[in-house]
């Protein structure tokens, strides 16, 4: 490989592509789909991969197994722009990360379908990251607008995904195992794509078909920890014992099973193989890195500097869910903020470049399918910014990473990927 900035950036973009393709449902889902029961097959899908998962499942049952179309039904609710051309399953595009009316309607339809299932039926639940926002069914007494307010407050607080989902599960009629109650006594098979550190089924999409180990008391503690100012209806719901989620001994789970189909570690391994094949040493920090985006970036930059000082050619890989505590008024998610923090940290170091992107194709933003997935930087980014009159520190202070990288022309914009196995980050260290 030629040691130039352009080649390093192209190499990093290729690693991101490999990570995404490894996690696409077409690569793994057909071999995991269960045989139908003697009754109907209900496909209930939610999340950023809902459309692609439903599409693959439909093709399997209708074309490979030649199941009569009359025995197949269902609904898939994905983020706006992430729909796929399904034939029998209804396709709905809904809001993310803040839920909207389409998600509200889609969740009600999913619950109604689950309620109609019998012991002779198979309820196939296809889960992926984003389902927590796409399936929105507020607990009794909580207006939809108040549930939206909770989501916004949690997203701005700096809470990690497990904490966010703990609160959301106790304000819902579908999350935290409650969908299983609606689908019982049908056979319930859930296939999940993980986008969460630890790959916990109870966290993926807020675990609508699995027992919930979290409690109302924990949800209230999270609210107190981040000093969230929540609507009175939400406070009341979190104090209502009726909103406690079903636990492992609940009979709803007697006929339920869960299959983890794709996880961040799978995409990491594929990228690791590509790194080694390109002649680099691979330094993998694993798929479960958490923390404040800008702080993690500085730690990774320090590692890159050490590698460079030792004259090694290496790629530092990491996955996981970083967070951004909003202090400014700008736009941008954790991947872009991570990349923005790298600009100053890697300044003046040729032969070093970094990429950070969400494998679902969007990172923060306003919920549009065209929102950027992340950004690419290198050792010359700070000089370039200075030449065009941009101060990276000022943009970072305002949490405006999207604004910075839009002006730099360095946004990562792959468009919808129809999957989601969390964030992917890589820093390549070559010889200057």
Cα 247 to Cα 344: distance, rounded to the nearest angstrom: 48
Phi/psi of residue 312, each to 5°?
-95, 150
Q: What is the pLDDT along the chain (432 residues), one digit of tens a residue?
A: 333 445 999 999 999 999 999 999 999 999 999 999 999 999 999 999 999 999 999 999 999 999 999 999 999 999 999 999 999 999 999 999 889 999 999 999 999 999 999 999 999 999 999 999 999 999 999 999 999 999 899 988 988 888 998 999 999 999 999 999 999 999 999 999 999 888 999 999 999 999 999 999 999 999 999 999 999 999 999 999 999 999 999 999 999 999 999 999 999 999 999 999 999 999 999 999 999 999 999 999 999 999 999 999 999 999 998 999 889 999 999 999 999 999 999 999 999 999 999 999 999 777 788 899 999 999 999 999 999 999 999 999 999 999 999 999 999 999 999 999 999 999 999 987
**Is residue 383 classed as helix, strand or coil in its secondary structure?**
helix
Q: Do the beta carbons of residue 193 and residue 262 sit within 8 Å?
A: yes
Q: Rounded CA gap, 394 and 171, in Å?
A: 38
313 three-class SS:
coil
Q: Distance between CA 412 and CA 426 in Å, rounded?
A: 13
The label of the residue with tokens 């890989």 reads 317
Is this model's pTM higher than 0.85 or not?
Answer: yes
Q: Is residue 162 packed enough to be buried (19+ CB in 10 Å), middle (13-18) or exposed (0-12)? A: middle
Alpha carbons 4 and 180: distance in angstroms, whole number: 54
Question: Is residue 36 classed exposed, middle or buried when 0-12, 13-18 and 19+ CB atoms within 10 A define those classes?
Answer: middle
CB atoms near residue 264 (< 10 Å): 30
Q: How far is CA 309 from CA 287, 297, 312, 381, in A?
A: 26, 18, 8, 20
Q: Residue 431 burial (CB < 10 Å; 0-12/13-18/19+)?
A: exposed
Q: Looking at residue 4, what is its pLDDT?
A: 40
DSSP state of 138: B
Residues written for the chain: 432
Residue 54 near residue 84, CB atoms below 8 Å: yes
Given a contact cutoff of 8 angstroms between Cβ atoms, the answer to whether 311 and 432 are in contact is no
CA angle, 278 then 283 then 287, to 5°: 110
The pLDDT, as a whole number, for residue 432 is 73
The residues, ordered by sequence, that sit 6+ positions from 395 with a Cβ below 8 Å of its Cβ are: 330, 340, 401, 403, 404
**What is the rounded distance in angstroms from the CA atom of residue 111 to the CA atom of residue 96?**
20
The bridge status of strand 322-323 relative to strand 374-378 is unpaired
Q: Supply the pLDDT for residue 208.
A: 97
Cα–Cα distances (Å) from 172 to 68, 194, 269, in that order, read 34, 21, 36
Distance in angstroms (rounded) separating the CA atoms of residues 41 and 125: 10
Residue linked to tokens 């468009």: 415
Nearest to 67 by CA among 119, 124, 25: 124
Fold exhibited by the domain 5-21+265-429:
glycerate kinase, domain 1 (3.40.1480)
**Structural element, H or E, at residue 356:** strand 352-358
Other Cβ atoms less than 10 A from the Cβ of 249: the count is 8
Cβ atoms of 363 and 329 closer than 8 Å: no
Provide the residue ranges of all domains of the chain, joining segments of one domain with +: 5-21+265-429, 25-263
Pick one of 3.30.499.10, 3.40.50.10180, 3.40.50.720, 3.30.420.40 as the CATH number of 25-263: 3.40.50.10180
Residue 68 has φ and ψ, to the nearest 5°, of -55, 140
What is the Cα–Cα distance from 106 to 77, expressed in whole angstroms?
6
Predicted confidence at residue 3, as pLDDT, reads 38
């Amino acid at each position: 490989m030629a040691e130039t900035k352009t080649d390093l950036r192209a190499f990093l973009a290729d690693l991101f592509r490999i990570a995404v393709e490894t996690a696409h449902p077409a690569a793994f889902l057909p071999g995991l789909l269960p045989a139908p029961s003697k009754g109907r097959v209900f496909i209930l899908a939610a999340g950023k991969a809902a459309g692609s998962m439903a599409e693959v499942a439909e093709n399997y049952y209708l074309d490979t197994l030649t199941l009569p179309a009359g025995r197949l039904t269902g609904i898939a609710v994905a983020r706006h722009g992430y729909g796929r051309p399904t034939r029998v399953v209804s396709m709905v595009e809904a809001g993310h990360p803040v839920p909207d009316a389409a998600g509200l309607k889609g969740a009600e339809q999913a619950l109604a379908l689950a309620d109609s299932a019998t012991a002779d039926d198979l309820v196939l639940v296809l889960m992926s990251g984003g389902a927590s926002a796409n399936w929105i069914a507020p607990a009794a007494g909580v207006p939809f607008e108040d549930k939206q307010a909770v989501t916004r407050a949690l997203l701005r607080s700096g809470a990690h995904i497990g904490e966010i989902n703990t609160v959301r599960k106790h304000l819902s009629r579908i999350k935290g195992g409650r969908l299983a109650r609606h689908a019982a006594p049908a056979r319930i098979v859930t296939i999940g794509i993980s986008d969460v550190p630890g790959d916990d089924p109870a966290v993926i999409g807020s675990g609508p078909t699995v027992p919930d180990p979290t409690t109302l008391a924990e949800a209230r503690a999270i609210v107190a920890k981040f000093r969230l100012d929540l609507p009175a209806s939400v406070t009341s719901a979190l104090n209502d014992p009726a909103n406690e989620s079903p636990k492992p001994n609940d009979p709803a789970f007697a006929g339920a099973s869960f299959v983890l189909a794709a996880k961040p570690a799978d995409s990491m391994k594929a990228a690791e193989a590509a790194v080694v094949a390109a002649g680099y040493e691979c330094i993998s920090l694993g798929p479960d890195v958490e923390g404040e985006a800008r702080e993690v970036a500085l730690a990774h930059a320090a590692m890159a500097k050490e590698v460079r000082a030792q004259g090694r050619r290496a790629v530092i890989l990491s996955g996981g869910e970083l967070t951004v505590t909003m202090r400014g008024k700008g736009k941008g998610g954790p991947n872009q903020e991570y990349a923005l923090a790298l600009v100053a940290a890697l300044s003046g170091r040729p032969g070093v470049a970094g990429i950070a992107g969400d494998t679902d194709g969007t990172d923060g933003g306003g919920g549009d399918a065209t929102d950027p997935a992340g950004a690419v930087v290198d050792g010359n980014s700070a000089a370039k910014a200075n030449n065009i009159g941009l101060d990276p520190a000022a943009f970072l202070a305002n949490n405006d990473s999207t604004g910075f990288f839009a002006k730099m022309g360095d946004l990562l914009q792959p468009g919808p990927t129809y999957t989601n196995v969390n964030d992917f980050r890589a820093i390549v260290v070559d010889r200057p």
